[in-house]
Amino acid sequence: MNWIWNWVKMDWEESTEGNVVGEGNKKSVISSEQMDVEAYGSLYSGRTKIMRLIFIADHCGNESMRMEALRMAYDEIKKGDNTQLFKEVAHKIGGKLGSDYALDQDWIDSVERRAEQRKDKLENELNGYKTNLIKESIRMGYNDFGDFYYAHGLLADAFKNYVRTRDYCTTSKHIIQMCLNVILVSIEMGQFMHVSSYVTKAEQTPDVQEQVVVVAKLKCAAGLAHLESKKYKLAARKFVETNFDLGNNYTDVIAPQDVATYGGLCALASFDRSELKNKVIDNINFRNFLELVPEVRELIHDFYASRYASCIEYLQNLKANLLLDIHLHDHVETLYDQIRHKALIQYTTPFISVDLHTMANAFMTNVAGLEKELEALIMDNQIQARIDSHNKILYARHADQRNTTFQRVLQTGVEFDRDARAMMLRANIMRALSTDGDLGGCPVLRFSKMGPSAGLL
């Protein structure tokens, strides 16, 4: 699928000269066109690839796309041992893809027999390790059990066994491996409280900062946890701090394209202009991620440059496919609303008055709809303005800078006078204390334990 370039204005094309992505870059799978399911699936590996394909099948409205996603999920599952997920996908297909994609009972029976044999072997080995009290072997035994249960889709059992390895970790490497395993399973289970907890534990492990890829994985996991809890600013910070060396080393959780998309949208929704400039646009590291998804890159540049028509068009083009993202779908509407509100605020800030007809054209809406949006922002105290509904003009209520400055100067003077009097009093008290007690006929001074500055008693 080719890049989708939406040329909104001729000057837009001139301002972005030199930003065109080279032919060697990977093709985009997020665009206004129907998603290329095969290209999208190729970005991921393991269980997350299967779950993302199933999610697309369950939420897309296109039957051909749905069948393509289920076909790919079916093929991917047969490479592993998850019989329960296989039955679920085969049932969803319902024979629509022919006999090659029907429920293969022989395969299920074969996998389950191997699973029983493998489980018995692991139990015997683990019992032997426990009898001999070999700490490292016990850790590896529990880790093998966690891998076994994860491969068969028994996430709760996998989680328990990975956590049990914690008591047998003897090196920083073991602790980091344990944390990454628990984080992986917790993300699949949707238990993001555990994700945050074990990310923190891993980050506190000695020498972890020297492992660039591991740190990048932890940033991504923390970003997903913040995204799930709707802490978009924290999520944006984690994603934009992710090192590009992550590459394809974490595709069982997230693709580099996702880092750009999640980080870019969260940043637009939560960062102010200076943060957007310093942490996103001028961030050389994050710029490498944005090159993988030029639509998001151009969206960010258009927002910062106040090219709102182009910005909104990009958002509209991306929306359908973002709603098919397993992590982002619940947040698309909220993020879009926040981005639009920020754009409205940013548009009105420099002006004393704004023609609503001109503004409506810039935001690709009608005057009545724009007026309602502005009313909501004014009521929420996000825009200091009033609307002339008859003439369709927005008048800003700018603060009286001269009066504000004068009041600030007066307040500073009062504070200086108070501080000066306090210092003089303290100096006199300290001088009186340094004498032999002859205070020139004055009554004896007594002070609290808090010191002379506490005042007279």
Confidence of residue 374 (pLDDT cuts 50, 70, 90): confident
Q: Residue 355 — φ and ψ, nearest 5°? A: -80, 120
Residue 418 burial (C-beta neighbours within 10 Å; 0-12, 13-18, 19+): exposed
pLDDT for the residue numbered 448: 45
Lowest-confidence segment of 26-35, 202-211, 289-298 by average pLDDT: 26-35
Confidence of residue 384 (pLDDT cuts 50, 70, 90): confident
pLDDT for the residue numbered 181: 95
pLDDT for the residue numbered 62: 84
pLDDT for the residue numbered 364: 82
pLDDT in tens, 412-421: 999 999 999 9
Cα dihedral: 372, 373, 374, 379 (round 10): 90
Lowest-confidence segment of 123-127, 144-148, 435-439 by average pLDDT: 435-439
What percent of the chain lies above the pLDDT cut of 70?
A: 87
Report whether 90 contacts 74 (CB < 8 A): yes
pLDDT for the residue numbered 19: 36
pLDDT for the residue numbered 437: 53
pLDDT for the residue numbered 131: 85
CA distances from residue 354 to 302, 350, 393 in whole angstroms, order as listed: 21, 10, 6
The CA distance from 348 to 256, in Å, is 35
- Alpha-helix residue ranges (DSSP H) falling in 284-363: 284-290, 294-304, 308-322, 332-348, 356-362
The arithmetic mean of pLDDT across residues 108-135, rounded, is 90
DSSP characters over 14-26: HHTTT-PPPTTSP
pLDDT for the residue numbered 120: 92
The CA distance from 441 to 16, in Å, is 84
The CA distance from 231 to 269, in Å, is 11
**Enclosing H/E stretch for 114:** helix 105-132
The CA distance from 13 to 295, in Å, is 14
Higher local confidence (pLDDT), 10 or 300:
300
pLDDT for the residue numbered 309: 86
State the chain's mean pLDDT as an integer.
Answer: 84
> Could you give the 3-state DSSP secondary structure of residue 395?
strand
pLDDT for the residue numbered 398: 62
Confidence of residue 4 (pLDDT cuts 50, 70, 90): very low
The CA distance from 413 to 60, in Å, is 65
Q: Residue 388 — φ and ψ, nearest 5°? A: -90, 95
Q: What does the angle CA 165 – CA 166 – CA 168 come to, to the nearest 5 degrees?
A: 70
